[in-house]
Structure 1
Amino acid sequence: MTQFGKPLTRTDTPIPGLVVFDLPVHGDSRGWFKENWQREKMTEAGLPDFGPVQNNVSFNDKAGTTRGIHAEPWDKFVSVATGRIFGAWVDLREGPTFGAVFTTEIDRSKAIFVPSGVGNSYQTLEPDTAYTYLVNDHWSPTAEYAFLNLADETIAISWPVPLEEAELSEKDKNHPRLAEVTPIPPKKTLVLGANGQLGRALRDLWGNRTDVEFATRANIDLSDPNSLPGARRWRDYDTIVNAAAYTAVDKAETPEGRTAAWAINATAVAALARIATDNNITLVHISSDYVYVSRVK
């Protein structure tokens, strides 16, 4: 039964970034009310300011309905509006905690923040359970996903309703075992202007790193700033290093050169800053103190 009046508190789990929250629920003879997600209070309590863009609801008719294990390239804030679930989360990210498991029950007075790359699954413990979750990206066919079998022997989740008696989809029944799952790599660093002088130096420094991607003008053209929002699936990156610039000093004094220099050195940089803000990316912009002085009066 839901416990009313709990304070908003966070509890860390053995999986890095996976955090359980107790939610204040206020009830009386009419029913109950809760703030399921309140940005100011929850970031103060330690919830990352993850920027949700979509709210999803999965309604489950029967107790024993089981879904998962799915890991997506976005963060989730999971709770229930009605009913109760047994949740199980598995770290499928590359690193020392790959395969780590955490389980807990979630009712309307609890929620859990699930970072991208952590496999998510649940089993309903009551009929008419409404499972809700906020996500900070939209589904994309080009994104990378990972899946794990609910019955995997390595993680050995003890489901309250045995899986042979539970309601599962055929797709979930046929997901791979842990030994067959490719760990999800960390988000990448993208270097722009990779054929320039600075870009070549960064290739020499970082060329052997699998988490660094190099883009030349042929891949991403900063002279066309309007093309930048659709140039990449930006949620796949955590850092952009902008080593691109218009550096032809003499040509920058011509009408055509001034247009190109402004597009690459100013307008495109502003577009990159908006992309970085929208996608929680660190933007490193490298410039010089050289000032182009126009002689045109």
Structure 2
Amino acid sequence: MEFEKKLKVTETNIPGLLVFDLPVHGDNRGWFKENWQKAKMTALGLPADIQWPIPLEESERSEADLRHPMLKDAKPMAPRRTLVTGANGQLGRAIRDYVQAHGLEGFEFTDIDEFDFSDPAAYAQIDWSLYGAIINAGAYTAVDKAQTPEGRTAAWKANAQGPALLAKTAIEHNLTLVHISSDYVFDGVTEVHDEDEAFAPLGVYGQAKAAGDIAVAMAPKHYILRSSWVIGDGHNFVKTMIALSDRVANPDEALEQVTVVDDQIGRLTFTQDMARAIFCLLDREAPYGTYDLTSSGDSVSWAVIAREVFAQANGNGQAVKPISTKEYFANATAPVSPRPTYSTLDLAKIEETGFEPSDWRDELHAYVAAARKGE
């Protein structure tokens, strides 16, 4: 069966305005339309040479057109904003540094004193229609305190309820939600963890983080970055080791040796790498989902990292004495959270996006050198 719609022209009551009904052809294969047939259209009255664009002085314009600014003078719409929570933490500071270094606009930084994202009532104070993304850098990270009654409540509020409220908001307002996870969502039995491993948290902190991950994953547009052993601008393991190395090197101190656990294995994650990865995923519009993210390099124990710090800080790496986790906490009087034995995360998925994590040893040496200079 064949179908045919002929080319025809209709004159209007507006001088010079012709309406062309374009030919449409069809058969059992489908339909197609012919937009241009010069010979036939000019024969029906279409001018052979149409002068375009029409000079403004020859055009008819309305009063609204005359008052409207030229395109070159029009002010473009501002991009939708990005809200960064936990802005005063180690990662929050790194994100702020990245934004400032790259001259990015439209970012708003907030912390719990301004916007408590675990409080349902706090969300009404924000006009979410102005935003396109949320980067959640806030969390409760006191792993051992999370084992106490008051710590358990605080951990679940910040690490589970807060992310669930952010996810709900992201769904309602079509926002992209970036959230930070932890190796503590795993039991640490597997030597290397990929993004598909089932959750098996050992302690309260890990349980709350796992619950937060599940909630965030409900948002269609989400990135979950799972990290371990985070080091940035703030209180952390490396700064503690530098201070202890200084004490060992000080002849007025009685400290000769420092015990550090050697049966927990993993890699450091530097916050500047985390910030780079976040913007890599956002800028390249990588597929939504969960990505493991640490610095690259070999997997080692905390004791090995401590020796590296001591050796660079004061040349006294021999002062670090390896000890088991069980021995280290043998005399603890406060609750202690169980730790994953293996915390190494598989970086293959995020590397497929084009992101290249830095080697943790290179980053550690730069970090200690900067700390010694007071930077």
TM-score (norm 1): 0.39
TM-score (norm 2): 0.31
Rg larger for: 2
Larger relative helix fraction = 2
Larger relative strand fraction = 1
